[in-house]
Structure 1
Amino acid sequence: MPGHRKLWGFSERGLRLRHQMRVKEERIAELETENAILHLKLAEYQERMNRSSREAWPYALLRTRQCQQGSVHAAFLQLGYLTRKLQQDVKELRSSFLVLLQSHQDEYQNCLSDIMAAVQGEQASSEALRACQSEAACLQRCLQELDSRFRLEQQRRRTLHNSLVELKGNIRVHCRIRPFLSFDKELDGSASQNCNTPGEVAHAVDDETVLVRCALPGRPPAEKTYSFERVYGPAESQATVFGDLRPLLISLLDGYNVCIMAYGQTGSGKSYTMLGPHSEGDSALLSDALEDLGIIPRAAEELFRLISENPSRSPKVDVSIVEIYNNNIFDLLAKDSSTAMSGSKCQTVTTQEGRSEVPKLTCRAVASAVEFVGLIHRGIQLRVQHPTLVHKNSSRSHLIVTATLTTASSLGSTAPQSSQASLQKKAGAGNRWTTSPRASSPHTVPVDSADHSGQVLARLQLVDLAGSECAAVSGVTGVALKETSFINRSLAALADVLGALSERCDHIPYRNSKLTHLLQDSIGGDAKLLMILCVSPGQKHVAETLRALKFGARARQVERRPSRRRPPSSQMQKPGLGLAGSPTLL
């Protein structure tokens, strides 16, 4: 029974669904009919709209044309108004143009008149300028002529003055002011705050006058002037300095003994003046910077140049190099790199003739300026140097280079022709400082050998003194302080000797120092002595600058016996003769 009931329920439900489907199908048929009717109405309305559009198009075209005609009419009216306004502006522009043209024509006429007047004035000015130029050229020629005459008269006056100095036996003194360097500003920094004259205080007024503006503590500012035979300003070159002492080398070959000495405080330019600029690892003596070469390499080149001009009398040149360190004399040519500080120590003795000699001094013969300079380069590498606050390469000893000129004796053997030819060939080779590959090696000569007897012609001494210094300024201590003490004492002894000579005392204290004892013949003898004072321009060093200038002024007052030509004397070369006697050849 239950299965029959369930089956009956499904049949009843299917009947209901079929009924609903018929109802839906009838509704769909009705909707399709309504849709077809609507499509027909839509087609009808579209047809009516198309007919209305076709009927309205002529009216719209007509309206558009009417609007366009109105716009064209308004534009035409506006155009007429603008045309009338433009015609009015053209009339105004034409009238203003005529006025402007007239004014420009008037201005053009005025400018033309001004130009004609300017041309006429320029022609007159040109004529006046040509006249002025002609007059200026005439004045320039007159000025050049006067300048030439002035220089000639100045040279003649200086020559006469030098002759007078030689006749009086005075020492010639030159002064050189080095440039103001960067470390001077650092040293002057503290001093410049408490003085009215910071910076440079030493100036070269002219070729013969030095002006010092000093403001020492506790003293009012003052200006002091000093006169010397020649004064070099900071801008003057090494060549200028050497040019004034070149005649001394001519005198050397004429038989006069010559001594050139550089004096001044530490860092004032003495070694630069005598040797040239310092360079690490190599010497400036061998550099290619010819304009910076010092007096010593220039003197070597000039000496052999003069010798080459007269081959018939070519003398032999022997060189010795010594340093005076802590009042002891050391032979630099007897040293080597392993015994730099324990080299040959020498003593100074006085002969019966009153001449100073250094026994057993090493001398080496040189045949050219290249050998001369190379020998000095090797020697000064052993010179004692220590850095200070004033100078990082301060020389702690006095350097003395001696070149002895000897000629072959009439009793001895003459120099071989090959040696003379070699000397002449190398004399002109000093334009490029390079070390000669052939170094003169020392060799022992028998005492009684007659082959090396000769006539001493003259002697050239080139002296680079150690610089005076104040320990408080240089900041030295220990060994360097001891060196400073010996340096200052030897320079004080030199000042005492000059003072005694200027006052013509009966006793001259040459033996108070090895320096003065060694240079006795040059200071108090008959040599031509030229002293170059090197001074610093800075305010910090004004006390040392004044001390150096006073030293030079005192040196000028020394009257010695007149410089005389040394007659060639035949002497045997003995191991006891050194700077003052004939050199010992080793």
Structure 2
Amino acid sequence: MPLFINRDQIFAHQVHLLEHKLRSKEERILELETENAILHLRLAECLGKLRREKEEETKAQKNHQNQKNSQKITQSALAKLLSEVQAVKQDLSEVFGVYVNFATELQEKSKELQEKVEHASSVLKGHRGDDVQSLQDHVAALECSLEEEKQKCREERQRRRELHNTLVELRGNIRVHCRVRPVLHFDHVQPSTLTTGPALSEEVVYAVSDDTVLVNCMKTGIPVQNKMFEFERVHGPEDSQDAVFEEVKPLLTSLLDGYNVCIMAYGQTGSGKTHTMMGSQPMKEAQQGIIPKAAAELFRLISEKPAESHTVEVSVMEVYNNEVFDLLARDEDRNSVDQRRDIITTSTGTSQVTALTYEPVSSASEVMQVISGVLKLRARCPTLVHTDSSRSHLIVTLTISSNSPNALALARRLQSAKKDMQRSTQREWWSPRCRRANPSARLSSDELFASPASSPCHSPCHSPCPSPRPSISQAPFKTKLQLVDLAGSECVGMSGVSGAALWETSCINRSLSALSDVLGALAEQRPHVPYRNSKLTHLLQDAIGGDAKLLVMLCVSPTQRFITESLQSLGFGTRARQVQKEMPKRKKTPLK
């Protein structure tokens, strides 16, 4: 076997030498052809010169003798060139003959080497077929093991996310998702000649994983500083509307379980808030946002319940210049008193809007028809960032009334059990097996009676909860789905507005600052939370600091031009994650 390898090497070396010689001859041929072309050019040049000299001879008789001399010189030069051309042609014919010989020899050697390689391959296959098969089996086993490890890694990542979501819900924290939009046409602006540094259209915000955002903070003369932000879920520019909604979808199930839900989009103008919440126009199914998809999912869940067990009503409001307007009041005059609404706090501590208009709906298409009919009334104004910038906070509320017998029975059971717990905590029928018998492990009444099937005391003969009393009200209980599209959070200098629009921007910034102050007070657990500093925070008090399940969808721009606003939005989301609210509570009694 070693002899065969040396022989192959010798043959390969010979082939290499022959190829090298062939290339050298080909290069020589090219050189000669080039020289031949140059000589032909020179010959043509001389002939032209000769013709010109002949013409000059007919025109000027005085230079006749000089022309004769030049003709003699030219003829001698031509003779010399012709002799050189003939020599070059002779060399070219010799080179071509050598090239033909080398080509024939190379073809013969290649044929011989091919035969030897085929022979060696057959010998190698015969002697080492078993070894090759074992190696192939080993590689296949390794690939299978790698695929199993990847699957386990995906399962562990999913399990970690589920556990994290459970932990967030148990701690009562606000869920924060982030979406980084792609680079758009208005990101490409002409930089000022006076400014130096990174290009404004350069991408500096990246979704590096499904829960991490990376920001490259670049300044002139300062090394690049990377900032990392972690959230419950991060969507990159390549994520579709369906992928974004899949992360929001589990919250909608909580609506029919008796929980309030609020989904809020936060970010600067042009960062994709309205696209995320409403979708693109014209409304195509693939480009629908959270609001139409949430309505469709809600009615799909309702369709799985008993007939006529739930009713849905929709209301649409906007907070504009720190005033609440009812967009369903059918009055296009923004300054009309009929459209303005006040916010009151009920005896139960919840915030309500007086004289708010509710439209009953029975399908997702009716919801979108109602919303689309009043979106034109929303305050808009062109800015330097966007030609159709929203100048108000839009709040779409879907109120679900649960009329099903199961829901009523659950409400009566909870009320009855709560009263009995207060009156008779020391009765003998408190079984040690019931979780409520242990004061240290006592849970809230809504957890104890989440469903008759899951309760530890659901059996009729062992239930610690007496049967519903006839005096319990038969009114349904209600839950709310609030979908909020906030106005842009950019500064006045970035928006470039003036006049009346300047006051609008000031009101927007004050309301968003009030929202940030509320989150800061909740995160630091201050005794006073300034909800009433703004109509926006007062209106959303139940969702921000109450018992609703709140999800904040941060929308950020990826380019250097908006890095200040992007960092502000990411900082807002970080503060929101630090808020520890009370655990979301299931609605047990009707909303008044």
Scaled to the shorter chain, the TM-score interval is 0.5 to 0.7
Aligned to 2:365: 370
Kept in 1: contact 2:316–2:326 (CA 8 A): yes
Helix, strand or coil for the counterpart of 2:279? Answer: coil
Alignment of 1:369-408 (within 5 A): 369-408=364-403
Aligned to 2:537: 516
Over 3 Å counting, the alpha-carbon distance change for 1:341 and 1:374 in structure 2 is: farther
Q: 1:481, CA displacement in angstroms?
A: 1.1
Over 3 Å counting, the alpha-carbon distance change for 1:195 and 1:256 in structure 2 is: same
Once residues 195 and 285 of structure 2 are traced to their aligned partners in structure 1, the CA distance between those partners, rounded to angstroms, is: 37
Over 3 Å counting, the alpha-carbon distance change for 1:198 and 1:462 in structure 2 is: closer
User: Is it true that 1:114 corresponds to 2:120 in the alignment?
Assistant: no
User: Is it true that 1:318 corresponds to 2:317 in the alignment?
Assistant: no
Once residues 124 and 546 of structure 1 are traced to their aligned partners in structure 2, the CA distance between those partners, rounded to angstroms, is: 66
Q: 1:565, CA displacement in angstroms?
A: 1.5
User: Is it true that 1:476 corresponds to 2:470 in the alignment?
Assistant: no
Q: 1:222, CA displacement in angstroms?
A: 1.6
Aligned to 1:269: 272
Q: 1:293, CA displacement in angstroms?
A: 0.7
User: Is it true that 1:536 corresponds to 2:557 in the alignment?
Assistant: yes
Match of 1:458 among 453, 457, 479: 479
Helix, strand or coil for the counterpart of 2:520? Answer: helix
Kept in 1: contact 2:187–2:200 (CA 8 A): no
Q: 1:183, CA displacement in angstroms?
A: 1.4
Q: 1:405, CA displacement in angstroms?
A: 0.7
Identify the range of structure 1 (522-531 vs 376-385) with the bigger mean alpha-carbon deviation: 376-385
Gaps in structure 2 of 5+ consecutive residues: 1-102, 409-472
Could you say which structure has the larger radius of gyration?
Answer: 1
What is the CA deviation profile of residues 50-99 of structure 1, one whole-angstrom value per residue up to 9, with x for unaligned ones?
xxxxxxxxxxxxxxxxxxxxxxxxxxxxxxxxxxxxxxxxxxxxxxxxxx
Aligned to 1:555: 576
Match of 1:225 among 228, 231, 235: 228
Kept in 1: contact 2:208–2:214 (CA 8 A): yes
Aligned AA (2:378): R
Aligned to 1:42: none
Q: 1:229, CA displacement in angstroms?
A: 0.6
Match of 2:152 among 149, 153, 157: 149
Aligned AA (1:147): K
Over 3 Å counting, the alpha-carbon distance change for 1:313 and 1:204 in structure 2 is: same
Once residues 130 and 290 of structure 1 are traced to their aligned partners in structure 2, the CA distance between those partners, rounded to angstroms, is: 52
Kept in 2: contact 1:259–1:460 (CA 8 A): yes
Alignment of 1:137-286 (within 5 A): 137-186=140-189, 193-195=196-198, 199-216=202-219, 221-277=224-280, 279=281, 284=282
Q: 1:120, CA displacement in angstroms?
A: 4.5
What is the CA deviation profile of residues 475-524 of structure 1, one whole-angstrom value per residue up to 9, with x for unaligned ones?
11112111110000000000000000000001000000000000000000
What is the CA deviation profile of residues 239-264 of structure 1, one whole-angstrom value per residue up to 9, with x for unaligned ones?
11100111100111111110000001
Helix, strand or coil for the counterpart of 1:203? Answer: strand
Q: 1:125, CA displacement in angstroms?
A: 9.2
Q: 1:529, CA displacement in angstroms?
A: 0.4
Aligned to 2:468: none
Match of 1:490 among 506, 511, 521: 511
Over 3 Å counting, the alpha-carbon distance change for 1:528 and 1:378 in structure 2 is: same
Once residues 546 and 155 of structure 2 are traced to their aligned partners in structure 1, the CA distance between those partners, rounded to angstroms, is: 32
Once residues 190 and 397 of structure 2 are traced to their aligned partners in structure 1, the CA distance between those partners, rounded to angstroms, is: 36
Once residues 211 and 227 of structure 2 are traced to their aligned partners in structure 1, the CA distance between those partners, rounded to angstroms, is: 14
Helix, strand or coil for the counterpart of 1:155? Answer: helix
Aligned AA (1:222): Q
Helix, strand or coil for the counterpart of 1:339? Answer: coil
Identify the range of structure 1 (188-197 vs 499-508) with the bigger mean alpha-carbon deviation: 188-197
Once residues 464 and 141 of structure 1 are traced to their aligned partners in structure 2, the CA distance between those partners, rounded to angstroms, is: 47
Q: 1:373, CA displacement in angstroms?
A: 1.2
Aligned to 1:507: 528
Over 3 Å counting, the alpha-carbon distance change for 1:112 and 1:525 in structure 2 is: same
User: Is it true that 1:347 corresponds to 2:350 in the alignment?
Assistant: no
Once residues 247 and 387 of structure 1 are traced to their aligned partners in structure 2, the CA distance between those partners, rounded to angstroms, is: 36
Q: 1:132, CA displacement in angstroms?
A: 5.6
| Percentage of matched positions with identical amino acids | 51
The number of equivalent residue pairs is 425
Once residues 206 and 388 of structure 1 are traced to their aligned partners in structure 2, the CA distance between those partners, rounded to angstroms, is: 33
Q: 1:139, CA displacement in angstroms?
A: 3.4
What is the CA deviation profile of residues 191-216 of structure 1, one whole-angstrom value per residue up to 9, with x for unaligned ones?
98423896011111211111111135
Kept in 1: contact 2:201–2:560 (CA 8 A): yes
Helix, strand or coil for the counterpart of 1:487? Answer: helix
What is the CA deviation profile of residues 292-315 of structure 1, one whole-angstrom value per residue up to 9, with x for unaligned ones?
110000001110111111225731
Kept in 2: contact 1:409–1:454 (CA 8 A): no
Q: For the aligned residues, what is the CA RMSD?
A: 3.1
Aligned AA (1:486): C
Aligned to 2:422: none
What is the CA deviation profile of residues 511-570 of structure 1, one whole-angstrom value per residue up to 9, with x for unaligned ones?
000000000000000100000111111111111111111111000000111112121x24
Once residues 213 and 207 of structure 1 are traced to their aligned partners in structure 2, the CA distance between those partners, rounded to angstroms, is: 18
Helix, strand or coil for the counterpart of 1:357? Answer: strand
Helix, strand or coil for the counterpart of 1:404? Answer: strand
Q: 1:474, CA displacement in angstroms?
A: 1.7
Aligned to 1:20: none
Aligned AA (2:360): A
Gaps in structure 1 of 5+ consecutive residues: 1-99, 414-451, 571-580
Aligned to 2:12: none
Aligned AA (1:556): R
Aligned to 2:95: none
Over 3 Å counting, the alpha-carbon distance change for 1:186 and 1:145 in structure 2 is: same
Aligned to 1:16: none
Kept in 1: contact 2:398–2:481 (CA 8 A): yes
Normalising by structure 1, report the TM-score: 0.67
Kept in 2: contact 1:346–1:361 (CA 8 A): yes
Helix, strand or coil for the counterpart of 2:227? Answer: strand
Aligned AA (1:339): D
Once residues 380 and 301 of structure 2 are traced to their aligned partners in structure 1, the CA distance between those partners, rounded to angstroms, is: 34
Once residues 207 and 106 of structure 2 are traced to their aligned partners in structure 1, the CA distance between those partners, rounded to angstroms, is: 67
Aligned AA (1:139): L
Q: 1:138, CA displacement in angstroms?
A: 3.2
Over 3 Å counting, the alpha-carbon distance change for 1:186 and 1:356 in structure 2 is: same
Q: 1:180, CA displacement in angstroms?
A: 1.2
What is the CA deviation profile of residues 3-57 of structure 1, one whole-angstrom value per residue up to 9, with x for unaligned ones?
xxxxxxxxxxxxxxxxxxxxxxxxxxxxxxxxxxxxxxxxxxxxxxxxxxxxxxx
Once residues 168 and 541 of structure 1 are traced to their aligned partners in structure 2, the CA distance between those partners, rounded to angstroms, is: 34
Normalising by structure 2, report the TM-score: 0.66
Aligned to 2:435: none
Over 3 Å counting, the alpha-carbon distance change for 1:198 and 1:465 in structure 2 is: closer
Once residues 380 and 349 of structure 2 are traced to their aligned partners in structure 1, the CA distance between those partners, rounded to angstroms, is: 33
Over 3 Å counting, the alpha-carbon distance change for 1:130 and 1:378 in structure 2 is: farther
